[in-house]
């Protein structure tokens, strides 16, 4: 993992920022598969933030250290989004806006392997 960190807010919740490689199944704008993306998660604590990402199929997500915590602009962006999950290309090119997480994961909304039909 290239970098990540967290910031505890006054109300006790946290914002976790991670730089991850883009899933190969994603169809979102602006980046190719395998390119780094910056992902922001708002949750009750760090463990729940990572669990939210793992439940979407991003299994190898770990937060080791606090070397790249979210900036104040990133915190504002994730707090104003109803899902509390955002991403954009890293490093940022120009004035790229934040995208909802489902734009990164593709039409199925899941980054993991395809599930067999029941």
89 belongs to a structural domain: yes
Is 59 within a domain? Answer: yes
pLDDT in the model for residue 36: 86
The pLDDT score that the predictor gives to residue 16 is 95
Domain contains 37: yes
Q: pTM for the complete prediction? A: 0.79
Q: Name the DSSP letter for residue 12.
A: S
| Structural domain contains residue 109 | no
Domain span including residue 36:
6-103
- For β-strands 99-100 and 85-89, DSSP reports them as antiparallel
In a domain, 88, yes or no: yes
- For residue 114, being part of any structural domain is answered with no
**24: CB partners within 8 A, 6+ apart:** 33, 34
- Domains of the chain: total: 1
* pLDDT tens digits in sequence order for the chain, 118 residues long: 458 999 999 999 999 999 888 776 555 555 566 788 899 999 999 999 999 988 988 877 888 889 999 999 999 999 999 889 999 887 766 678 888 888 777 665 555 555 554 4
Reported as type and span, the H/E element at residue 88 is strand 85-89
The sheet carrying 3-8 orders its strands as: 3-8, 14-21, 36-43, 85-89, 99-100
Q: What is the pLDDT of residue 51?
A: 93
pLDDT tens figures, 63-86 = 888 999 999 999 999 999 988 999
Give a yes or no: residue 108 inside a domain. no
Residue 87 parent element (H or E)? strand 85-89
């Amino acid at each position: 993992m290239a970098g990540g960190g967290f910031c505890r807010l006054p109300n006790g919740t946290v914002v976790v920022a991670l730089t991850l490689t883009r899933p190969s199944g994603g169809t979102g704008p602006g980046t190719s598969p395998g390119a780094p993306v910056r992902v922001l998660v708002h949750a009750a604590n760090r463990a729940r933030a990572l669990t939210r990402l793992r439940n979407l199929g991003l299994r190898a997500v770990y937060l080791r250290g606090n070397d790249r915590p979210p900036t104040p602009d990133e915190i504002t962006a994730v707090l104003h989004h109803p899902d509390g999950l955002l991403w954009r290309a890293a490093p940022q090119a120009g004035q790229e806006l934040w995208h909802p997480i489902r734009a990164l994961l593709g039409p199925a909304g899941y980054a993991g392997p395809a599930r067999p039909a029941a």
